[in-house]
Structure 1
């Protein structure tokens, strides 16, 4: 259906709430991104999901658009808060890294991020880049399903695109807001828009956020987890000399210096043990609530296979309390520069989006996650009877005190550095004819080994300065990355006023180029050792792929559109072994979607449905296998998976004051041919060739795929006349039970639960002042967001945020 001509602004009073920082012309109500005009019709919402401006109700694609106003209203300040508002989207912490799972992508082994983040249309490849704060945002567009033609680059399950408010030459404006809450949460944010003549405008945005840890460390009060300490700044300069040409230059800087969220997961649950046999077992075991760090090697298991009691290192039952000695660190710093050029050439619009990014991330964590002292580690060849014992050549000499029989604390960490360049240049037809087309070129390059590197370090700390580890073990480094190029095109043709078809094609070429690094011995005792690039040990290879998209849409009357689409996507493989010039098989998906978009009840409701089936092939998984007295990670073929389901989004304003949003996702996904290995458990599954346990998961549901999820939002605009508007609101999210790992470990299962968010907002009659009181997770629901198994057969978990509450005050000029 075509919805042109429906774009009329509401008055400030009838909008309901416009909180502090957004100057966007629409306030997206929940899932569909629609707003309500003063005459009662849902206002058209324009998105750029097809690389051109189009109504969200007109494109044959499942898109959730959430405006900056709506983000502020729901206290969505980062990616981790977004998923409950998007049907079928799961965002979880994998240690410090947020991981998005959508339509199955990311649920089972992929070679790279399967649902990436874009900021103003530019791709962000690192998981940590998704931790940047949401501030002064015009809207967020979530595209569901593979975007292999127009976006390409790893969009196996979709993408999330954050679009910032842009400079405006029309008027001087500014806004500021402050939020305070429990856990000493403090957030200060503001923007200023400065016209500089008729053709130039400057917009500056900044925020500062801090919060005490959600997770209390009872041994070291400075070493809590899940805290916040980040600052963000953005400057944009617009030059629009004519109505046919403009360029926006953007510079951003943000840093995060919080303790973070540990690696993999933060909470030690204990050791899964089969009470009948006394062996570790994650399937038929029970949880022994022990840290697994004393009374022997392997999580408290003696070499004889006996599990003595470990009362001195019992776990803490509270999911938000830990006991460890080493204060973790998460230091992230990113600087970016970009240029967005728009040029009306008459027959078409040229759009060039260019960017350079300098990203550095450094992490340190208490790897043993215990109060055992992370200190007194010795260099190779030295032995003083404490923490390092070389008398046993079979090990475990690197963390064993032969006198006290106590495992010593270990610090581990990693450092990522990435300097990348990016370009996305496209040409869009701008005629009113039946044929609309897009042609484009894409480049992403972080392959220079002098600019991009990853380091993993593992060792003890110096006894005099415990926060400065003396690195000794498992040191590795890699240099280089990926150069990806693509050409793409897409065309839409209107055969009649009601029937249209879309066809798209993209050719991509990915070059992987990695070199290993060796430890610089002179820096071994430093808090972060240096590495030397070894160009003789190269892991590299090329991969190319052709993706396509085909869609047909038919308008059933003026307010309803039915569409069907088929599309593909891929993620390039990785080098299969050291010194290899061959890449592993790529991850691939073929996706089919049938959808309905409708405007009902005299224009007061939008109802959108999407039925999808995604077939994944070439999946891989990371397995841990023993080698030479330790455990190493290997990548092995994983097989295939089918993700299928139904997504529903609804926005309804039955009266001028009552606003209702709802969303649902029904999932029937399964792993087709898929295996995973786990070397840490003595029982369960089948014994693989390397001695690890192999689990055949064919026919099982993948992780984070509950049978259904539901969300419901309700708000009411209570007009107080000259005293302003009072808006109470509630948001309810419910999920069926799910598992957090593909293997059906008993400790990785989460029962169904419901969360409730409440808010009360007041806005002055002029709309300049807003005040909001809010509670998130009002019932303080406890729920799993991640589990993993680590050294010593120890089970670890991550939990969702506890109840938080606060007050936000904002002013717009």
Structure 2
């Protein structure tokens, strides 16, 4: 313990000494510097001064969010130390990492590692972070375990969005308009109406539309063209250069593409992937019949009708690839044999054609998304005595998602897509609190928490040439109950002790859920006259494309593969013990130890039956039941982080400089890792790769499930320094510097799943063979994903005072993140395992990135209107948020290119 805390304590003492010395110097300087305004936060379930709150916390105002062009939670990561947010395009959801800890299971089975709260009310689905943020008072990002007060899945941090409340004092409102390139249009509006002296209403809304920033094409040469319009399906034959013809032929390898290769059709940017078409509104009421009672109720509605997100190719890594012919000879970019490898001969232009870059994408399935989120939030507070208050927070949320997206994007020979069909998630929560309100030496809060979520998840995966899978999970439930208490006692006037405890019991259950399959060996249960009584017309493109667009959306055509009836129950304990000491009226030091817990869970149940490999028949036992050979799908346990943290918060230079610094060490155990896990389940006849006809050979087919396991331990340590400095009355400088070191410290054996075919140069069947021990790798010593070692964020603005009180404020923001990894495999550390001559082309390294935003804002002398010009990503950096490997390339969601425009705001 002494060794663990020696370095943090040394740094804390040094920071304290520096602050005291600076304060002493400030005593001898004229008090001419401006004073920073006080910031009030609710990180401890009560209102406290940010600088008196012994927690690492970043606060963002609505003005700062609008200035940086931030419209939802997924874009705030550059403003928060040691926070990183990536995107999973297949689920339209962010993956939030804080201090190196994250959860990649964002299905209805998973739980986030960073809790998201709206007005203090827990939001369970990660898609909720995509909802528009508007008319907010502030956003609080708390780092470190927050389990005692905020509970569910606040393992390493918590994000709380606090909206603005109705005001009974005045009729007021505002209207803002933003216009930018990519045909960007955004409108925000607010109206506050005092109905009586004790009751007020507040309405607000935000609408955003923007064309896609991708260079998108529809490709009628791919296998599945059912979703394309007739003019695209009947596009004219390709008439371009013969040497470029092969770029399209690769999508028609089944017939050689010699005749009938069609032109690609440029997509309309307005409704293509990575566009924006969303709106949200909120209606809120606040009733305050007395100083002792208030009741706030809000209804919020969010709708996203965009095309969703598409992964694109990392062309910098693709340019490292080497092209070969069927005999293994190296080829140059023109296809001629070369004596040596030619990097770049098989890059993006070889896949998508001349001029292709990381924003180019070809699809045969247009993107479709219908994401609807509704929330009702209620906060009731009653100060029923001079020393205590009762608080009741209640929330109800419903999320419904219909989605369809292309998953291969013309990169692979196989045509794949994913869909969700009115997947519905309904949750409600209740939290009852008692709080102390007097000025005594003990300040405390205690309460009960109840949460329940009911999920109906309908969706599927299409392998358009061979089969389809359907996920029918109509009754998956989660229930959570907790009791908590936390108090702070003034041991002396300057020394304060905080202790907190929470007991939680979670239950997760699946009733009647199934994973289902549709292939050419299954009967068509709905329309047996179709496809020769088979569910799926394998290798018959004409028959496949004659099927209705919604054919595979009907679960009645599928045959059950798994029976997912399963239940898991866990209880766990969270604690916090801390001390903080006021060195002076302006400086506080603090230290604590706390743990955080991410709930255990359940997995899909997969059963492998005994089967005769020749007859493919299943023998029966004495009861007439199939004999079970193996069963997968057990529950997995909670994971835990224990954090030791110490820090200092101080106001310097006559309160013109605000400095916060913290040092932490975290011990992370029972690590949950979610991966696609291959399992041998059935036998089938192999098919000829050219004709698709059965060869008579028997092979074992792997069945892949997305499964979470507890498999490791990790150590995490870091430093976070935040500052806010009013240099002069007209100059403001703020930002942060952070350091993060993560390492897996236990033996951590995992079957390799990142770009396996390409790195090991093996066939796909071998890459998903659960018995291929050559792919089992010990990842001990690897870094955790999304954990850049160093990061930096600096904001600077200068105010020019113009005639009669008008102002002109130019500003600039610079954000830099060190390199990190997309996955847990850290491929560059295991190159001795690979057969590839160009492993860097398939690396899971995420390169460092610098991002610059800037603008200039004019505010009228009356302060009721303003006009601002802005430019985000001014240096036009290309950043990938997720680096999935496979199909010969690294790919993932890509950042928006340089984005610029103007915004105007009017207040009354």
Q: CA deviation at 1:185?
A: 0.7
Q: CA deviation at 1:364?
A: 0.8
State the match for 1:529 in structure 2. Answer: 553
Task: Mark the CA change 1:473 to 1:345 in structure 2 (over 3 Å): closer, same or farther.
Answer: same
SS of the aligned residue for 2:151 comes to coil
State the match for 1:362 in structure 2. Answer: 402
Q: CA deviation at 1:107?
A: 6.7
State the match for 2:487 in structure 1. Answer: 491
Residue correspondence of structure 1 range 675-686 to structure 2 within 5 A: 675-679=749-753, 681-682=756-757, 684=760
Q: In 1, Cα distance between the equivalents of 2:351 and 2:885? A: 22
Deviates more, 1:355-364 or 1:628-637: 628-637
State the match for 1:475 in structure 2. Answer: 470
Q: In 2, Cα distance between the equivalents of 1:473 and 1:701? A: 36
1:694-744: CA deviations, max 9, x gaps? 232211222222221011111011110316100011011112222222212
Q: In 2, Cα distance between the equivalents of 1:571 and 1:620? A: 9
Task: Mark the CA change 1:84 to 1:268 in structure 2 (over 3 Å): closer, same or farther.
Answer: closer
Residue correspondence of structure 1 range 437-456 to structure 2 within 5 A: 437-447=444-454, 452-456=455-459
Q: In 1, Cα distance between the equivalents of 2:744 and 2:333? A: 32
Q: In 2, Cα distance between the equivalents of 1:86 and 1:597? A: 17
Does 2:778 correspond to 1:690? no
Q: CA deviation at 1:247?
A: 0.8
Does 2:677 correspond to 1:624? yes
SS of the aligned residue for 2:457 comes to strand
Contact 1:246 1:342 survives alignment (8 Å): yes
Contact 1:624 1:678 survives alignment (8 Å): no
Q: CA deviation at 1:527?
A: 5.4
State the match for 2:239 in structure 1. Answer: none
Q: TM-score, normalised by structure 2?
A: 0.73
Does 2:58 correspond to 1:64? yes
Q: In 2, Cα distance between the equivalents of 1:730 and 1:61? A: 28
Deviates more, 1:436-445 or 1:65-74: 65-74
Q: CA deviation at 1:367?
A: 2.2
State the match for 1:706 in structure 2. Answer: 788
Q: In 2, Cα distance between the equivalents of 1:371 and 1:723? A: 58
Q: In 1, Cα distance between the equivalents of 2:71 and 2:331? A: 36
Q: CA deviation at 1:224?
A: 3.2
Q: In 2, Cα distance between the equivalents of 1:561 and 1:287? A: 66
Q: In 1, Cα distance between the equivalents of 2:750 and 2:274? A: 30
SS of the aligned residue for 2:878 comes to coil
Task: Mark the CA change 1:799 to 1:313 in structure 2 (over 3 Å): closer, same or farther.
Answer: closer
Q: CA deviation at 1:577?
A: 5.5
SS of the aligned residue for 1:779 comes to coil
Task: Mark the CA change 1:659 to 1:691 in structure 2 (over 3 Å): closer, same or farther.
Answer: same
Task: Mark the CA change 1:48 to 1:352 in structure 2 (over 3 Å): closer, same or farther.
Answer: same
State the match for 1:427 in structure 2. Answer: 434
1:118-174: CA deviations, max 9, x gaps? 111111111111111111110000010111100110111101111110000010001
Q: CA deviation at 1:429?
A: 0.3
Does 2:810 correspond to 1:728? yes
Q: In 2, Cα distance between the equivalents of 1:543 and 1:108? A: 21
Q: In 2, Cα distance between the equivalents of 1:527 and 1:287? A: 43
State the match for 1:302 in structure 2. Answer: none
Aligned partner (choices 284, 299, 304) of residue 256 of structure 1: 304
Aligned partner (choices 330, 335, 338) of residue 374 of structure 2: 335
State the match for 1:174 in structure 2. Answer: 173
Contact 2:679 2:770 survives alignment (8 Å): no
SS of the aligned residue for 1:71 comes to helix
Q: In 2, Cα distance between the equivalents of 1:72 and 1:115? A: 23
State the match for 2:833 in structure 1. Answer: none
SS of the aligned residue for 1:784 comes to coil
Task: Mark the CA change 1:544 to 1:582 in structure 2 (over 3 Å): closer, same or farther.
Answer: farther
Contact 1:626 1:691 survives alignment (8 Å): no
Aligned partner (choices 549, 557, 565) of residue 576 of structure 2: 549
SS of the aligned residue for 1:114 comes to coil
Contact 1:552 1:565 survives alignment (8 Å): yes
Deviates more, 1:121-130 or 1:739-748: 739-748
Q: CA deviation at 1:576?
A: 5.1
RMSD: 3.2
Task: Mark the CA change 1:45 to 1:763 in structure 2 (over 3 Å): closer, same or farther.
Answer: same
1:95-136: CA deviations, max 9, x gaps? 221111101210788952111221111111111111111111
State the match for 2:227 in structure 1. Answer: none
Task: Mark the CA change 1:808 to 1:730 in structure 2 (over 3 Å): closer, same or farther.
Answer: same
1:6-53: CA deviations, max 9, x gaps? xxxxxxxxxxxxxxxxxxxxxxxxxxxxxxx99822222110010011
Q: CA deviation at 1:352?
A: 0.9
Task: Mark the CA change 1:109 to 1:620 in structure 2 (over 3 Å): closer, same or farther.
Answer: farther
Aligned partner (choices 742, 754, 760) of residue 669 of structure 1: 742
Contact 1:272 1:793 survives alignment (8 Å): no
State the match for 1:352 in structure 2. Answer: 392
Does 2:237 correspond to 1:237? no
Q: TM-score, normalised by structure 1?
A: 0.81
Task: Mark the CA change 1:224 to 1:678 in structure 2 (over 3 Å): closer, same or farther.
Answer: farther
Q: In 2, Cα distance between the equivalents of 1:604 and 1:188? A: 35
Q: In 2, Cα distance between the equivalents of 1:129 and 1:489? A: 28
Q: In 2, Cα distance between the equivalents of 1:197 and 1:418? A: 37
Does 2:649 correspond to 1:568? no
Does 2:727 correspond to 1:649? no
More strand, by proportion = 1
Residue correspondence of structure 1 range 192-207 to structure 2 within 5 A: 192-207=191-206
Task: Mark the CA change 1:606 to 1:268 in structure 2 (over 3 Å): closer, same or farther.
Answer: closer
Aligned partner (choices 18, 42, 51) of residue 45 of structure 2: 51
Contact 2:352 2:362 survives alignment (8 Å): no
Q: CA deviation at 1:793?
A: 5.6
Does 2:648 correspond to 1:596? yes
Contact 1:324 1:371 survives alignment (8 Å): no
Q: In 1, Cα distance between the equivalents of 2:819 and 2:563? A: 50
Contact 1:316 1:322 survives alignment (8 Å): no
Q: CA deviation at 1:267?
A: 3.2
Does 2:658 correspond to 1:606? yes
Q: In 1, Cα distance between the equivalents of 2:572 and 2:420? A: 32
Q: In 1, Cα distance between the equivalents of 2:333 and 2:584? A: 62
Task: Mark the CA change 1:474 to 1:273 in structure 2 (over 3 Å): closer, same or farther.
Answer: farther
Task: Mark the CA change 1:168 to 1:597 in structure 2 (over 3 Å): closer, same or farther.
Answer: same
Does 2:862 correspond to 1:766? yes
State the match for 1:98 in structure 2. Answer: 94
Aligned partner (choices 504, 510, 519) of residue 506 of structure 2: 510
Q: In 1, Cα distance between the equivalents of 2:500 and 2:633? A: 31
SS of the aligned residue for 2:128 comes to helix
Contact 1:107 1:704 survives alignment (8 Å): no
More helix, by proportion = 2
Which structure has the larger Rg? 2
1:29-79: CA deviations, max 9, x gaps? xxxxxxxx9982222211001001111111111011111122122222222
Q: In 1, Cα distance between the equivalents of 2:302 and 2:420? A: 20
Task: Mark the CA change 1:536 to 1:341 in structure 2 (over 3 Å): closer, same or farther.
Answer: same
Q: Which has the higher contact order (CA 8 A, sep 6+)?
A: 1
Contact 2:752 2:825 survives alignment (8 Å): no
